[in-house]
Chains A and B, each alone.
Chain A
Amino acid sequence: MSQANQIKGKIMEELKYIGKSFPRIDGKEKVTGAAQYVDDLEYGPNLLHTEIVESTEPFAKIIKIDTSRAEKVPGVVTVITGKDFPYKFGLYMKDRYIMAQDVVRFVGEQVAAVIARDPKTARRAAKLVKVKYEPLTPVFDQMEAIKKNPILIHPDLGEYTHVPWFYPKAKTNIAHWKKVRLGDMEKGFAEADVILEDTYHVPRYAHCCMESHIAVGKLDQADRLTVWSSSQSPHTQRHLFAEALAPLGFTHKDIRVITPFIGGGFGGKAGVTMEILAAAFATKVKGNPVKVRWTRAQEFYNTYMRQAVLSKLKMGAKKDGTITAFEISNYWDAGPYVEYGANVVNASGLSAAGPYRIPNVKIDSLCIYTNLPAAGPYRGFGYSEMMFGVESHMERMAQKLGMDPVEFRKKNAFKGGDLLVYGAPMNANGFDECIDRVAEAIEYGKKAVSEDPNKVIGKGIAGAWKGPAMPPNASSSAFLKFSEDGSINILVSGIDMGQGYLTVMAQIAAEILTVPVEKIRTENPDTDRNAYEWQTVASHVTWSCGNAVKRAALDAREQIFETVHAAYLYDKSTLYLEDECVKCTIDPEFSLPLKDFVIDGIMVKDGTFRGGPILGKGMFMPEFSSTKSDPETSQGGKPNVHYTVGAGGLIIEIDKETGKVKVLKVAEAFDVGKAINPDLVNGQILGGFMQGLATALYEDMRFGENGEILNPNFTDYKIPTALDIPDEIIPIIVEVPQNDGPYGARGIGEHTMIPVMPAIANAVEDALGIRIKSMPITAEKIAMAIKAGVKEVD
């Protein structure tokens, strides 16, 4: 290597911005109240307000809607019913209308809407809308819904449009049936020394973003529709609005979606739910912006809930700990509309056997319509739900085999290059390191005794994995532009719902362009101006949009070098960037600050200029991904771009009288490939753990006899407060690089919830000898089990 290239090489290999815990670039805005969310923007004095008339029936025909009295209330601008918008929408399956047409399918479904000059008038008038129903027999339990001759929630299911990788069963309540078949099950179970079979149940949960869903729509006099929404998916929203409203003459060009800061997402703000109402209503009140804001109660029942699952598992293993066969049936209660939720069933179905190498696998993952509220994506996308059963089962199998549960998991864990159950190769990963370090952190295997005779201590551990669930052509793109002072704006359309995306994108651009992070802004999305992003879901934006931003920065750098080459004639291969300057390996004296030319260009001898505004662009599409596979076996294709693996372990103390669980210590380790910002990764571990703990111990959704949620508020649906946190939490970052990730990074965000439910169940058994096979493990459930003296709780 020449001396010149050595200089350049040295600069290149030292990472100045990647792997460093820079403070969040949105920090000042968020601590001063400057950060604006949809409800904080000004829409002017002609803003209209909406009140929804909701179904009081779980399943019924709409016979008549009388809006006449509501229309007469002074201040009411218009009253809308479903018939005003007989259009379907949906991301993966079009099974839902903008508002109910002839049938309602859950309590709370939107039947009519009053639009008025002020919210109080809208509320008062909505009470005057009279709806006459003819009740049908509802079904609330997914196992009931798939019995012979069921009542059909969607009699026309066979005619619905959907993505090609869904397999709805016409004339049933099965909206999608994902099947995986590998090897020979009979042989696999015949080879087993031990077979363990059991059923696990995970109920519904709510996301509980602090900001509820909100959208404001405005159709201006020139027929341009703008929607401001609190969303994870501005471009996908524009696309779905354009699809649904096409009969009214709208095209993509006519629609603009703007997403400022959002107050949490957790999957609940993915795709389109209530935002379609603001888009549609705006078309009826031209010239007036119209706001639809969900109350806390509506936030529970009329966006998505997390789907419930009943998992029937049967595993066979040899005495030496080799798993020989795993048969899995996951029955998902998905609610009456599964336009997004069916993909939860699909994605988690592909991975339902966990991060383990098993030669014989049979998976059935069924998306089942019920008359509970619509359910769909939630942080973890089905993996938290189905991994509760898998990791409870793994623990119990290890016990039956007399093996250390950590060794049992490691013995069977996928290594890089192993073939997954659908035939594609697993990525290189640090599963073993994650579980070892977690076990070490909690001194797993070493019995601890409480000082209090009424309390017992238990330890639990669980593995986790998850791949981004996305279509094979989900892409990201980025624009990057300079200002006169050499500062940068990155125009992308991912959402920083808290994970730190804006900061991480700035760090990636900083690394390539040697511009400090504090001189870079990453902009919130506006579909008119920012580059395309599919959605901020699947924990994929660091990886996918990170690649796009990296390419945009490299594109900008190329333009910078071309400009310098055009003005100074240095060969481009001799140029490099350092400290916001262009430098040259063959001319150590040469140093040209970026700010001197990134807008105005460089003047040459004759007074003319070379170059001009530097404007980088980058795109990333996972060109190796494919969902083409055999519908009966899922063999073929590469539906998951990679998996992030990890493990969680915890020490709990249980009060034997009250059943109350206190978490003494937690460790979670995840292989993130490369932590671009370690503090932000740790933030995902802390926050995701707590959200997982809430589902395991506290959150307990209850339904009435009409399938209506009984506790849609924070008084009765308990999410954790600061008093509920563990005494000690140890985040552990493992880094086995992702070869196609920016600087080796892969996704982290959803994953940190996944090990918590089974780790708690495993710790409860360790402490009390009681195996609890359903969530949540409330104090009441533990206390009742102790009182009854049982060893297992269904």
Chain B
Amino acid sequence: MKKMITFTINGELRSVEVEPNDILLHILRDKLGVTSPKIGCERGDCGTCTILLNGKSVRSCLMLAVEADGQEIITVEGLSDDGLTPLQDAFIKHNSFQCGFCAPGMILAATELLEKNPHPTKGEVKEAIAGNLCRCTGYEPIIEAVLDVSSQSN
């Protein structure tokens, strides 16, 4: 029943053999060594497993690995070829994380927002990251980082 699937992960074409009921999150972490998507709740509530699938943020805990066949996936490991993105820099500057467990997913959700809408309002930022839970920061420093990047871009 195993199936070979192939997809682009952080710019590299990789193939992996999966069971039909394998969850994408587990394959990324256990078979491909991409560990920035975290196991938080495994039911789509918390957003720590967020990845960008063809540019859109999705929860890799709710997706079967076979569904990723032929798609393009980006995680924080592959956000930039050269140093940090302005958003990653802003996360450091604004203390937008504490324990850091939500940070990869949060950064991807905010990256997607800024791609689609480079100058969001505070309300739009809140909406965009509302599916990603953070227990440490109280969210304000995350929102500040996103708005800071937005204000720096043309």
Interface residues of A (CB under 8 A from B): 23-24, 26-33, 35-37, 39-40, 42, 207-212, 261-266, 293, 295-296, 497-500, 679-680, 683, 686-691, 713-715, 719-723, 725, 729
- Once the chains are docked, how many angstroms separate the CA of A500 from the CA of B97? 10
CB pair B99–A264 under 8 Å, yes or no, is yes
The residue that A690 contacts in the complex, of B88, B92, B139, with Cβ under 8 A, is: B139
Which residues from 28 to 63 on chain B have a C-beta closer than 8 Å to any C-beta of chain A?
29, 33, 35-36, 38-43, 45-46, 48
New A-B pairs, 20, CB < 8 Å, besides A24-B95, A40-B35, A683-B95: A30-B103, A31-B100, A35-B100, A207-B135, A210-B133, A210-B135, A211-B101, A264-B98, A264-B101, A497-B99, A500-B95, A690-B138, A691-B135, A721-B129, A721-B131, A721-B139, A722-B127, A722-B130, A722-B143, A723-B130
- Once the chains are docked, how many angstroms separate the CA of A42 from the CA of B36? 14
CB pair A30–B97 under 8 Å, yes or no, is yes
- Once the chains are docked, how many angstroms separate the CA of A119 from the CA of B16? 19
> What residues of B have a CB within 8 angstroms of the CB of A35 in the complex?
100
CB pair B140–A686 under 8 Å, yes or no, is yes
CB pair B137–A723 under 8 Å, yes or no, is no
CB pair B98–A499 under 8 Å, yes or no, is yes
User: Does B13 have its Cβ within 8 Å of any Cβ on chain A?
Assistant: no
CB pair B137–A33 under 8 Å, yes or no, is no
| B107, B134, B143: most-surrounded residue (chain A CB, <10 A) | B134
What is the CB-to-nearest-CB distance from B87 to chain A, in angstroms, rounded to a whole number? 8
CB pair A687–B137 under 8 Å, yes or no, is yes
- Once the chains are docked, how many angstroms separate the CA of A293 from the CA of B41? 12
> What residues of B have a CB within 8 angstroms of the CB of A211 in the complex?
38, 40, 99, 101
- Once the chains are docked, how many angstroms separate the CA of A691 from the CA of B46? 16
CB pair A210–B102 under 8 Å, yes or no, is yes
| A28, A207, A689: most-surrounded residue (chain B CB, <10 A) | A28
- Once the chains are docked, how many angstroms separate the CA of A377 from the CA of B59? 32
With contact pairs A32-B84, A725-B138 given, residues A263 and B38 touching in the complex (Cβ less than 8 Å): yes
- Once the chains are docked, how many angstroms separate the CA of A207 from the CA of B101? 15
CB pair A266–B77 under 8 Å, yes or no, is no
> What residues of B have a CB within 8 angstroms of the CB of A691 in the complex?
135, 138
> What residues of B have a CB within 8 angstroms of the CB of A497 in the complex?
98-99
CB pair A210–B138 under 8 Å, yes or no, is no
What is the CB-to-nearest-CB distance from A233 to chain B, in angstroms, rounded to a whole number? 16
- Once the chains are docked, how many angstroms separate the CA of A725 from the CA of B35? 30
A-B contact pairs, 15 of them (CB 8 A): A23-B93, A24-B95, A31-B97, A209-B135, A210-B48, A296-B45, A680-B95, A686-B138, A688-B138, A713-B45, A720-B139, A722-B125, A723-B126, A723-B130, A725-B143
CB pair A24–B92 under 8 Å, yes or no, is yes
When C-beta atoms are compared, the residue in chain B nearest to A36 turns out to be B35
- Once the chains are docked, how many angstroms separate the CA of A776 from the CA of B104? 32
Q: Contact string, B74-118, partner A, CB cutoff 8 A, digits 1/0?
A: 011100000010001001110101111111100100000000000
User: Does B120 have its Cβ within 8 Å of any Cβ on chain A?
Assistant: no
The residue that B138 contacts in the complex, of A207, A296, A729, with Cβ under 8 A, is: A729
- Once the chains are docked, how many angstroms separate the CA of A714 from the CA of B42? 11
What is the CB-to-nearest-CB distance from A75 to chain B, in angstroms, rounded to a whole number? 14
CB pair A714–B92 under 8 Å, yes or no, is no
9 closest residue pairs by CB, A with B: A498-B98, A33-B36, A263-B101, A30-B100, A690-B138, A714-B45, A27-B92, A498-B99, A686-B138
- Once the chains are docked, how many angstroms separate the CA of A33 from the CA of B10? 13
> What residues of B have a CB within 8 angstroms of the CB of A499 in the complex?
98
The residue that B43 contacts in the complex, of A26, A27, A715, with Cβ under 8 A, is: A715
- Once the chains are docked, how many angstroms separate the CA of A347 from the CA of B31? 47
With contact pairs A714-B46, A725-B126 given, residues A261 and B138 touching in the complex (Cβ less than 8 Å): no
What is the CB-to-nearest-CB distance from A500 to chain B, in angstroms, rounded to a whole number? 7
> What residues of B have a CB within 8 angstroms of the CB of A720 in the complex?
139
What is the CB-to-nearest-CB distance from B115 to chain A, in angstroms, rounded to a whole number? 17
CB pair B136–A264 under 8 Å, yes or no, is yes
- Once the chains are docked, how many angstroms separate the CA of A27 from the CA of B99? 10
CB pair A500–B98 under 8 Å, yes or no, is yes
> What residues of B have a CB within 8 angstroms of the CB of A23 in the complex?
92-93, 95
Tally inter-chain residue pairs, CB-CB below 8 A: 157
The residue that B75 contacts in the complex, of A33, A37, A686, with Cβ under 8 A, is: A33
> What residues of B have a CB within 8 angstroms of the CB of A209 in the complex?
99, 101, 135
CB pair A729–B135 under 8 Å, yes or no, is no
With contact pairs A37-B38, A210-B101, A722-B143 given, residues A296 and B43 touching in the complex (Cβ less than 8 Å): yes
CB pair B99–A262 under 8 Å, yes or no, is yes
When C-beta atoms are compared, the residue in chain B nearest to A37 turns out to be B101
> What residues of A have a CB within 8 angstroms of the CB of B99 in the complex?
209-211, 261-265, 497-498
User: Does B9 have its Cβ within 8 Å of any Cβ on chain A?
Assistant: no
- Once the chains are docked, how many angstroms separate the CA of A33 from the CA of B107? 10
The residue that A725 contacts in the complex, of B101, B102, B132, B139, with Cβ under 8 A, is: B139
CB pair B130–A721 under 8 Å, yes or no, is yes
- Once the chains are docked, how many angstroms separate the CA of A689 from the CA of B135? 11
CB pair B84–A31 under 8 Å, yes or no, is yes
> What residues of B have a CB within 8 angstroms of the CB of A29 in the complex?
100
> What residues of A have a CB within 8 angstroms of the CB of B33 in the complex?
42
> What residues of A have a CB within 8 angstroms of the CB of B95 in the complex?
23-24, 500, 679-680, 683
What is the CB-to-nearest-CB distance from A689 to chain B, in angstroms, rounded to a whole number? 6
What is the CB-to-nearest-CB distance from B42 to chain A, in angstroms, rounded to a whole number? 7
> What residues of B have a CB within 8 angstroms of the CB of A42 in the complex?
33
What is the CB-to-nearest-CB distance from B62 to chain A, in angstroms, rounded to a whole number? 13
The residue that A498 contacts in the complex, of B35, B100, B142, with Cβ under 8 A, is: B100
What is the CB-to-nearest-CB distance from A74 to chain B, in angstroms, rounded to a whole number? 16
With contact pairs A23-B92, A210-B99, A722-B130 given, residues A296 and B41 touching in the complex (Cβ less than 8 Å): yes
CB pair A713–B101 under 8 Å, yes or no, is no
CB pair A261–B100 under 8 Å, yes or no, is yes
> What residues of A have a CB within 8 angstroms of the CB of B131 in the complex?
721
When C-beta atoms are compared, the residue in chain B nearest to A29 turns out to be B100
What is the CB-to-nearest-CB distance from A213 to chain B, in angstroms, rounded to a whole number? 12
- Once the chains are docked, how many angstroms separate the CA of A261 from the CA of B36? 13
> What residues of B have a CB within 8 angstroms of the CB of A207 in the complex?
135
CB pair B126–A296 under 8 Å, yes or no, is no
- Once the chains are docked, how many angstroms separate the CA of A187 from the CA of B135? 47
The residue that B140 contacts in the complex, of A262, A719, A729, with Cβ under 8 A, is: A729
> What residues of A have a CB within 8 angstroms of the CB of B91 in the complex?
27, 31
When C-beta atoms are compared, the residue in chain B nearest to A721 turns out to be B130
- Once the chains are docked, how many angstroms separate the CA of A266 from the CA of B98? 12
What is the CB-to-nearest-CB distance from A602 to chain B, in angstroms, rounded to a whole number? 38
- Once the chains are docked, how many angstroms separate the CA of A675 from the CA of B111? 33
- Once the chains are docked, how many angstroms separate the CA of A23 from the CA of B95? 7
> What residues of B have a CB within 8 angstroms of the CB of A265 in the complex?
99
What is the CB-to-nearest-CB distance from B39 to chain A, in angstroms, rounded to a whole number? 6
The residue that A39 contacts in the complex, of B39, B84, B141, with Cβ under 8 A, is: B39
- Once the chains are docked, how many angstroms separate the CA of A499 from the CA of B100? 11
With contact pairs A210-B99, A499-B98 given, residues A683 and B130 touching in the complex (Cβ less than 8 Å): no
- Once the chains are docked, how many angstroms separate the CA of A532 from the CA of B3? 50
What is the CB-to-nearest-CB distance from B110 to chain A, in angstroms, rounded to a whole number? 10
When C-beta atoms are compared, the residue in chain B nearest to A495 turns out to be B99
> What residues of B have a CB within 8 angstroms of the CB of A295 in the complex?
42
> What residues of B have a CB within 8 angstroms of the CB of A296 in the complex?
40-43, 45-46
- Once the chains are docked, how many angstroms separate the CA of A683 from the CA of B139? 10
> What residues of A have a CB within 8 angstroms of the CB of B76 in the complex?
31-33
CB pair B92–A210 under 8 Å, yes or no, is no
CB pair B101–A31 under 8 Å, yes or no, is no
The residue that A28 contacts in the complex, of B36, B38, B92, with Cβ under 8 A, is: B92
> What residues of B have a CB within 8 angstroms of the CB of A36 in the complex?
35
| A210, A211, A263: most-surrounded residue (chain B CB, <10 A) | A210
- Once the chains are docked, how many angstroms separate the CA of A249 from the CA of B45? 44
CB pair A722–B141 under 8 Å, yes or no, is no
- Once the chains are docked, how many angstroms separate the CA of A27 from the CA of B131? 23
CB pair B45–A32 under 8 Å, yes or no, is no
CB pair B107–A31 under 8 Å, yes or no, is yes
- Once the chains are docked, how many angstroms separate the CA of A683 from the CA of B92? 13
CB pair A714–B41 under 8 Å, yes or no, is yes
> What residues of A have a CB within 8 angstroms of the CB of B142 in the complex?
722
